[in-house]
Structure 1
């Protein structure tokens, strides 16, 4: 008979090491801040910039006396996915990245640490890992919490290089490679009173509208169920409600769209949907049987982004 393999070493490394890594991952997940950008007027756009907007920038409005005097620009992603860098010039400017190579348990604290690092770093320096200190400043203490972001959406990464500067061949090749992978995107201007952040993107085979919402998940799901039961969960012809996903403590409804239509053509339908949703959010009537079925169906189409 062959020798039993029950006690033979298994591939994949030391078991104790694997268990330690698993415990560390669970501890980090337990420490993660559920809603890192809560309390900021720009919360929904910050979530979008961190999770799915390809290329965009916004100059941050810093809090006076927070130790931040040098101008700081938030970019979706910086060269090498670094956390921050300081660009040389007559007036050195700090850049911080939303989509980074290393992300801690609290993205708000990470961004705050990156912003403060830009104030003392030398022009030309870059920061790979912000290494935010537990209990240290968060974004609400460094930028104006009541200010919206004035976002510039780019369809390339030319903003990585200062205007008038000719990049060296390696940098130019990196920018071109990134440009070829970019998906055309737009922040829909759906009015000054609109809630949340609606972002359109052309993903290739179809386009999508991802609308980051600030309401609690339960309240938003009830409202979506009411709208769905009434036949209004859509943006008209050429659109389909695809589902929703959770990220950074908020819910993001997603619509599939006809990509042959320009982003601006979806502004009016999105505004009309926003009105229907606001009316549903304001209702406190018990759910009807149709609305309960709609709620259960919508919940089954949710996913969570980690």
Structure 2
């Protein structure tokens, strides 16, 4: 027998070997990633929204114990995991859901950040959350039954504490971040229904708490009946799945303000609830709708 060809074997320490090692590490992390990390939290859907597509927002967190003020934030300066600063001479912590170093289990990463932010002194920041076997989860630190009272900001000026004059570099960083913002709003009275103005059109991205299979059937029933929309000036654009949840997306007329879509979105939510209660098999037309929706579906995480 001839010798085995080494043509496709990368040389040690070569660029190709390094890229292959990075790819294997990414595949291993993906295989161990938790599918639905925030399951069981009342704020699950809004947590997913803030993590995936809300640009600039904050929300106070209700802790299981401890009296330090702690806030959730979409993103912090430098994409750090957490920081603590003094506000009115009170130590106030912030933990970010959009971070540069992504943990395999976000719930554990947030748990470490939250615990860290309740113990260090103002002026400290945490670049990433190192995880180990004893790292608490987010649900260990915060009240799992508490919903988020979210403040959606128009810009990132809240990065600069009130009364503090930023230096030129910090001001430039905030200005660059502000220029990248797409206006967003959370529709009143609806769980995790988010409007965003993307420029040429607006979108509704609605993070739903139902199981993916059940929600897919409900979407198919409404689509087949011509009821999967928010009325004139809207159309169902597709859906994506992230963190174990399904997110239907609708294109909207951007000439209308976010609040103008609330009544139609409320009605759509009621139609979805009714469709979710139906347990009969799909009709042939509903199956075609389901297959069409699935063909346009993408997975983010």
Tell me if both proteins adopt one fold, taking TM over 0.5 as the criterion. yes
Other structure's SS at 1:92 match: strand
Alpha-carbon displacement from aligned partner over 1:239-292 (angstroms, at most 9, x marks no partner): 010000010110000001111110011001100101111100011111111111
Distance 1:213 1:262 in 2: 22
Question: 1:128-207 alignment to 2 at 5 Å?
Answer: 128-189=127-188, 191=189, 194=190, 196-207=191-202
Q: Counterparts of 2:96 and 2:138 in 1: how far apart (Å)?
A: 13
Instruction: Find the aligned partners of 1:52 and 1:8 in 2 and give their Cα distance.
Output: 40
- Alignment correspondent of 2:290: 295
Structure 1: which 5+ residue stretches go unaligned? 1-5
* Number of aligned residue pairs: 295
CA–CA distance in structure 2, aligned partners of residues 57 and 119 of structure 1? 17
TM, length-normalised to structure 2 = 0.93
Tell me the equivalent position of 2:222: 227
Question: Quick one: distance in 1 between partners of 2:254 and 2:8?
Answer: 56
Aligned match of 1:51: 52
CA distance in 1, matches of 2:29, 2:250: 32
Instruction: Please name the residue that 1:3 is paired with.
Output: none
TM-score by length of 1: 0.92
Kindly state the Cα deviation for residue 24 of structure 1 after the two structures are TM-superposed.
1.9
Q: CA separation in 1, counterparts of 2:81 and 2:288?
A: 44
Whole-angstrom CA distance in 2 between matches of 1:147 and 1:216: 21
Of stretches 119-128 and 18-27 in structure 1, the one that deviates more from structure 2 is 18-27
CA root-mean-square deviation? 1.9
Against the structure 1 CA distance between its residues 69 and 229, is the aligned structure 2 distance closer, same or farther, given a 3 Å change threshold?
same
Q: Do the aligned partners of 2:196 and 2:202 also contact (CA within 8 Å) in 1?
A: yes
Counterpart Cα distance in 1 of 2:112 and 2:57: 21
8 A contact 2:112–2:136 mirrored in 1 = yes
- 1:87 and 1:285 map into 2 onto residues whose CA distance is 56
Structure 2: which 5+ residue stretches go unaligned? 1-5
Q: Distance in 2 between matches of 1:232 and 1:296?
A: 17
1:278 to 260, 273, 281: 273
The CA deviation at 1:70 is 1.4
Deviation, 1:178, is 1.0
Change (3 A) 1:169 1:20: closer
2:3 is matched with none
Tell me: CA distance 1:291–1:135, structure 2 relative to 1, closer, same or farther (3 Å).
farther
SS of the residue corresponding to residue 172 of structure 2 reads: helix
Cα displacement string for residues 138-173 of structure 1 (whole angstroms, at most 9, x for unaligned residues): 111110000100000001011111122221221111
Distance of aligned partners of 1:102 and 1:43 in 2 relative to their CA distance in 1, 3 Å threshold: same
